[in-house]
Amino acid sequence: MTQVTTLAPPPASSGAPHGAPSRIRVRGIVKEYGVTRALRGVDLDVAAGEIHGLVGHNGAGKSTLMRILTGIEQPTSGTVEFDGDGAATAATSARPGDVRMAYQELSLAPDLTVAENASLSDARRLRPLRWRAQAERRIAEVLDTVFPGHGIELSRYVGELSMAERQVVEISRALCSDEPRLLILDEPTESLGVDAMRQMYAHLHVLAARGVSILLISHRMNEVLEHSDRISVLKDGATVLTADAGDVTEDDLLVAMGGDVRGDSPRVHDVPVVGDAVAGSGERPAAGETVATASLAGASLPFEAKAGEIVGLAGLAGQGQDELLDRLWFNGLSRRITVPRRRAYVPGDRQTSGVFALWTVADNLAVAAARQLARAGFVSLKARRTLADRWVGTLSIKGGASAPITSLSGGNQQKVLIARAFATDAPLVLLNDPFRGVDVATKDELYTLMKAEAAQGRCIVWYSTENKEVAHCDRVYVFRAGRIVSELVGDEISEERVIAESFDEHQDARDARDATTKDAGAAA
Ligand SMILES: Nc1ncnc2c1ncn2[C@@H]1O[C@H](COP(=O)(O)OP(=O)(O)OP(=O)(O)O)[C@@H](O)[C@H]1O
């Protein structure tokens, strides 16, 4: 069990840093949804030209506060002043375009093109006849300025883009107006590649230097510490700490958030392993037995995953990792794929392919384990509830088993999907960047859970956009241009090695030469 270290939080500072005028001044904000008190008294000051980090555990109230700042929702009580205007809420004080936000849940319409999406939220007037060309020009300008080399075609439907590309569009869309006074970014880098992430932060510093205030919400403590001037911590709907970024450490933030300071042995309370948590669990392959194989086209190394292993899929975003997971999940009958009949999948995009929005947490969580829970073809409410209660406790899912899933915070919804997969008895679990939006303390617990599950004989195939997560894998396949270009085992696995393999242009040139020689040989 990790020891909890209690650090006295640095004294909360108030007001803007370095005497800069307050851009936004939030006092005593309370927000209630029926009996749920999402915010119970938030104070926050963001100065003109400041990058202000906002951190907190899943369900702490960050997104709710941002919805109030953008005027989408009204607070139950409390005040928001914008540039000292004394107005009661952001909705009444800010002019259109003053506050812009890039959403965690990616607010893009999948059936519209990139340019059409941009036109929807451009606060400036578009010309009635030439609106499409104008919108295209504006988003192209932002994309080229902030994310040079992005490679995104403006005429593509958003639904066809990878999560990383969608995130780039979401951020660019928020910048598609005359300069806002306050820019809010809710977990902007959760699925961005390394390059795009660097480009985004470089641009944020340029905007801040021009006087734009930026609120940066993230579970990535290192990024918040590196890029913010000041940081505030929300815990259970209230501000518990505001400090200069240089005066606090990651552990200070974690303690203020109410989590354990990370130790050597993260805690997973009472992991309900399959066979314990669900009735009638199926048989597991023996450790080391091959569970899944796939052969990809071109000069790709073959893919193989064995029982008892955590197999990582790494490389730059959008290099074929998604496609492999999709094929392992959907394409079990193909000659090039072997997979077990029972398999579980945690999607990266919970909104379009994960959450059943009209169902409760318990129903969402137990749906994939129905076969195991069924007795004479029926799943009793009690069996479903017992399973859900166990996992809600194990992963600290804030909201409870009987809450409607959509009333949960984004990170807590994601935990339900992770629990759904592990609550099955499937020998193969496929994870498609599953920890987006999950807070740091829970992530540590999930790593331990995965190891415990692998030790029980599960095979876990895991794509993550966070390179440092490869440290938790037994083997890693690095992807480049739709192919597996290297396999790392044991001590070979490191973030640096993954990055190096992701960019090996010489190897690409050699592969292209080999392929040409092969084609020429085949033609002869
Ligand atoms: N529409 C709603 N109805 C009921 N409860 C809600 C609603 N929206 C938010 N909540 C509750 O308010 C609390 C704060 O949620 P919020 O989404 O603001 O948290 P968060 O800090 O953004 O979390 P995360 O890091 O997971 O995104 C949660 O307990 C959530 O269940």
Of residues 140, 146, 137, 69, the one with CA closest to residue 100: 69
Mean pLDDT of 494-500: 87
Q: For the segment 378-417, what is each residue's pLDDT rounded down to a tens digit?
A: 777 888 888 899 899 888 888 888 899 999 888 888 889 9
Of residues 430, 270, 423, the one with CA closest to residue 344: 430
Closest ligand 1 atom to residue 34 Cα is 4
pLDDT at 106: 67
As for ligand 1, residues whose beta carbon falls within 6 Å of it are 33, 36, 38, 56, 58-64, 398-399, 407-412, 437, 439
Ligand 1 mean position, distance from CA 218 (Å)? 15
User: Which of 63, 236, 413 is the pocket-test mutation for ligand 1 (most atoms within 8 Å of CB)?
Assistant: 63
Mean pLDDT of 112-125: 76
| DSSP code at position 407 | G
Mean pLDDT of 496-514: 68
Q: What is the layout of strands, in order, in the sheet containing 238-244?
A: 99-102, 182-186, 213-217, 51-56, 230-235, 238-244
Of 106-120, 264-278, 342-356, which gets the smallest average pLDDT?
Answer: 264-278
**Ramachandran bin of 376, using left for φ above 0, alpha for ψ from -120 to 50, beta for the remaining angles:** left
Q: Is residue 58 a contact partner of residue 89, using CB atoms and an 8 Å limit?
A: no
Mean pLDDT of 99-117: 83
Helix (H, G, I), strand (E, B) or coil at 170: helix
Mean pLDDT of 250-275: 61
Residue 37 one-letter amino acid: R
Of 44-58, 84-98, 200-214, 306-320, which gets the smallest average pLDDT?
Answer: 84-98
Mean pLDDT of 16-44: 85
ipTM value greater than 0.90: yes
Ligand 1 mean position, distance from CA 413 (Å)? 10
Nearest CA to ligand 1 atom 18: 61
Nearest CA to ligand 1 atom 13: 38
pLDDT at 126: 59
**DSSP letters spanning 197-211:** HHHHHHHHHHHHHTT
Instruction: Report the DSSP beta bridge partners of residue 459.
Output: 428
pLDDT at 124: 60
Q: For the segment 359-369, what is each residue's pLDDT rounded down to a tens digit?
A: 999 999 988 88
pLDDT at 411: 85
More confident residue, 84 or 336: 336
pLDDT exceeds 70 at position 94: no
Nearest CA to ligand 1 atom 17: 409
Which of 77-86, 87-96, 129-138, 466-475 is most confident?
A: 466-475
Of residues 189, 217, 170, the one with CA closest to residue 58: 217
Mean pLDDT of 195-208: 93
Distance between first and last Cα of the chain:
66
Nearest CA to ligand 1 atom 29: 59
The C-alpha torsion from 95 through 96 and 102 to 104, rounded to 10°, is 90
Nearest CA to ligand 1 atom 8: 407
More confident residue, 229 or 83: 229
More confident residue, 106 or 162: 162
pTM comes to 0.78
Nearest CA to ligand 1 atom 31: 408
Ligand 1 mean position, distance from CA 410 (Å)? 7
| Type and span of the H or E element at 195 | helix 194-209
| Arithmetic mean of pLDDT over the chain | 81
Read off the pLDDT band of 283 (50, 70, 90): low
Closest ligand 1 atom to residue 219 Cα is 25
Ligand 1 mean position, distance from CA 7 (Å)? 27
Closest ligand 1 atom to residue 234 Cα is 21
Read off the pLDDT band of 505 (50, 70, 90): low
Query: Considering the chain, what percentage of its residues have pLDDT values greater than 70?
Result: 81
Of residues 195, 218, 186, the one with CA closest to residue 102: 186
More confident residue, 348 or 461: 461
> What is the C-alpha to C-alpha distance for residues 94 and 97, in angstroms, rounded to an integer?
8
pLDDT at 65: 94
Of residues 365, 462, 466, the one with CA closest to residue 408: 365
> What is the C-alpha to C-alpha distance for residues 285 and 520, in angstroms, rounded to an integer?
43
